[in-house]
Amino acid sequence: MTNPRLNLTFSLMWDPAVFRGIQIWQSYGGAQAMPLTGIYGLGIEPWVTQHNLEQAVAVGEAIELAGGASFSKELRATISTGHWSIE
């Protein structure tokens, strides 16, 4: 996302083989639940699947972890000056 007026670019990168989709939501100051009450915000959430858990299991997209197991992946967020370009 680039803001030409401020000459700033925000980027968010993740492994597309794991996180195959994103959910984007916005709060325009009207949210009643904390911590979003009264703020303008944008949320970008990488998701493993577009389905709910039951559907994800049915189509084989859910990630199953054994008891005590963990799962981690790197997400990289950057803010830089100038416009973002693919290189």
Place of tokens 């049915």: 58
The answer to whether residue 85 is domain-embedded is no
The answer to whether residue 23 is domain-embedded is yes
* Residue among 3, 44, 46 at smallest CA distance from 25: 44
The residues, ordered by sequence, that sit 6+ positions from 79 with a Cβ below 8 Å of its Cβ are 8, 9, 10
The answer to whether residue 28 is domain-embedded is yes
The predicted pLDDT at position 86 comes to: 55
In this model, does residue 42 exceed pLDDT 90? no
The pLDDT tens digits for 2-34 are 888 999 998 899 999 999 989 998 888 877 888
The answer to whether residue 14 is domain-embedded is yes
The answer to whether residue 87 is domain-embedded is no
The answer to whether residue 38 is domain-embedded is yes
The answer to whether residue 83 is domain-embedded is no
Query: Distance between CA 28 and CA 31 in Å, rounded?
Result: 7
The domain of 25 spans 2-78
pTM of the model: 0.66
Q: Do you know the residue count of the chain?
A: 87
How many domains does the chain fold into?
A: 1
